[in-house]
Amino acid sequence: MSIRFDDRVAVITGAGNGLGRSHALFLASRGARVVVNDLGGAIDGTGADVGPAQAVADEIAAAGGEAVANTDDIAGEDGAKALVGTALERWGRCDIVINNAGILRDKSFHNMDLDDFKAVVKVHMLGSVRVTHEAWPAMREQQYGRVLMTTSAAGLYGNFGQTNYATAKMAVIGLMNALKQEGRKYNITVNTLAPIAGTRMGGTIFPDEVMPLLRPELVTPAVAYLVSEQCTDSGRIIAAGAGHYAAVAMVEGAGVDFDATTEVSPEMLAEAWAGITDLSAAAPYDEAMAAVQRIFANLSPGGGG
């Protein structure tokens, strides 16, 4: 099976450096036409420079591919519209959206200015919402689309000094979980990448000696598969980095059921706490109602205990 992207159009945000650059170069090498979006700012989101996006677009063109540079700010509604509009005007379609752009403004929550919180959320979360929202009508109309969100271990598990970043990175998983339902009948898949890579942002937390092992090129194969025609899974979270690839899932334990027709006290919960928090029989749910129906089972005759 050869995975290619001939005649597909990909919009990749934050593609001037690091992971986004790697994704853009790889998809283009497999036939995709790529809109290379990058504001060209610093890690904290300040400043702008057309250079990074243009350099990647030029590199793709020099290798015989098709690409156009774009420096619109996806944190704003007009920027997202212009970005997706670039793909539609240039090539008449938008098949793939890779929401990769992000900034960092790390600081403990106690010391964090709310403007720094909002700035990070605007890029990571609202930027993903806006770009996806602009591409969604075209994907529905053409009955095909591949959307990829980008989360991180900080969002999945937490990290000191990154409340703004972690909040935004967990939010895109909620976005994916809803969109996977809405995209299903239109052949639109929505998945999420949890990368570990030695990029400008990663360089702030990883020691120098491991950086060569955290090449973005070891993350990109997961991206390429998730946005390919061959991948029909939707709602997946895939961790990728340093040659390691694994599914991540939110699960619910078997839990403890009390009779819903009687009173339940906090003391009863305290006594049953070991069973409530036992994840040995945990399982994921594909949608919210499946989890709700599990609760409803406790209301059926003979339920509870």
Secondary structure (H, E, C), the chain: CCCCCCCCEEEECCCCCHHHHHHHHHHHHCCCEEEEECCCCCCCCCCCCCHHHHHHHHHHHHCCCEEEEECCCCCCHHHHHHHHHHHHHHHCCCCEEECCCCCCCCCCHHHCCHHHHHHHHHHHHHHHHHHHHHHHHHHHHHCCEEEEEECCHHHHHCCCCCHHHHHHHHHHHHHHHHHHHHHHHHCEEEEEEEECCCCCCHHHCCCHHHHHHHCHHHCHHHHHHHCCCCCCCCCCEEEEECCEEEEECCEECCCCCCCCCCCCCHHHHHHCHHHHCCCCCCEECCCHHHHHHHHHHHHCCCCCC
Asked about 144 being catalytic, the answer comes back as no
Give the type of residue at 145: G
Which residue among 157, 165, 225, 285 is the active-site one? 165
User: Known catalytic residues?
Assistant: 165
